[in-house]
Every structure is written in structure tokens, then in C-alpha cells.
Amino acid sequence: MPTAATADSSTPVSGRLRRWLRHELPQLLLFLGLILAARSTLANHYVVPSGSMQHTLEIGDRVVVDMRAYGVRLPLLGTELIATGQPQRGEVVVFDSPVDGERLIKRVAAVAGDRVRLQDGHLSINGQPLAVDATHEAFGVRQAPLDLDRGGGPDIDALTVPPGQLLMLGDHRGNSADGRYFGLIQASSVYGRAVAVYYRRGEGFGWRRL
């Protein structure tokens, strides 16, 4: 039978545990839930796994992704609650591959209604070449550096993008498994816009806007 001293010494410990379970644990769970919700609806990050977007993005780059750019989604479930915009030509975005669901990062090369031609890695939209020079294309105010060291990859001839869809291309045109292979994607499937590279191997932390 426990002595009075033993019983007295265990009471404060069990009392603190009950108070922690009753008051502090719910607050901790709420805090963790808010972090998860913020990651799902406000901002997230993406680690670039391949060289398909060189030299805009290099392998291993850490990229900040704005999750609110095109819609506010229900945390964890991904259901869109409020539409806040549409992906625009030239933006770098994150989306799920329609083939296997793998998360990809590519450039929006063409939007609904665009007439697309791609020859030797060089893009024309609605009859207008986007080339600034041999290694850069202009999407309005955005300029994309092209990497054509492996050629231009498959050509595209006389494609018109249907309503609600997008054509995604990598900037490393001869080394990118993009819309030329998996087809067009639904604009609604894009869940975030890449904002900036915040870490690059060999350079460390910084803020390289996209």
C-alpha cells in the first residue's frame, strides 16, 4: 500500500498532466492546424527536381509558391472556395501532372484561345514570334531565358488552346517532359504561382523573382 508521502508526491505530477491535456494540448493542436492551413492556402515551397526549367530554375532550387494566386482552397482537401485569378501566359506555376499526379513546375506558354506554333524550340503565339534573341523569349513584360543545348524537342504546329485549358512548356525545351508529351491541362488544376527562388546551391539564400 502506498505511503502518504508517495501519494502526495504523485498528485502534483498528475495534476499538471491533466491541466496540460485540458488547456495546453488543444492550443498546441490549434497552432499546428493553423500552420497546415497556412501552407495549404497562403504560401508553400517547392524543390526543383530536374533541369526542365533551366536556366530560369536550376536543380535543387527552393521556390516560394503563392497558393492564393488563382484561388483560395479548403485546407488539406484542396477544394476551391474563391477564385482569385487565372494563370497568365509567361507565369511559372505548380500543378499536378495529368499522367501520374506528380507535382510539376513549368511555364504557362499559352492560354485559352491562343494559336500556338513551336519550331526548333522557338514559340510563336497568334502568329507573333516571342523571340527577343536566340536565347530569350518575351511573354509581355516577362522574359524567359531558353536553354536549347539539347535542341528544341518536339515541334507544335497549328494548335489552338481550347477554353479552360493551358499549354505548359519547360524553358529547357529539349529536356522537358511537358505539354508536348502529356497534353494540355485544365487551368483549374493549377494550384500556385511560383514567386521567387529563395535558395540556390552554391549561392545560398536570396530572393530571385520569377
Contacts for 98-104: CB closer than 8 Å, 24+ residues apart: 98/182, 98/183, 98/185, 98/189, 99/182, 103/46, 104/168
The cell for 120 is 526548333
Question: Would residue 166 be called left, alpha or beta, if left means φ above 0 and alpha means ψ between -120 and 50 degrees?
Answer: beta
| Residue found by looking up cell 502529356 in the block | 182
Peptide bond into 55 cis (omega under 30): yes
The catalytically annotated residue of 52, 124, 176, 189 is 52
Q: Is 106 a catalytic residue?
A: yes
CA distance 74 to 62: 25
SS3 192: strand
Q: Is 50 a catalytic residue?
A: no
Write the CA distances from 177 to 28, 51, 55, 105, integer angstroms: 43, 10, 16, 11
The catalytically annotated residue of 10, 97, 106, 189 is 106
Show which residues are catalytic.
52, 106
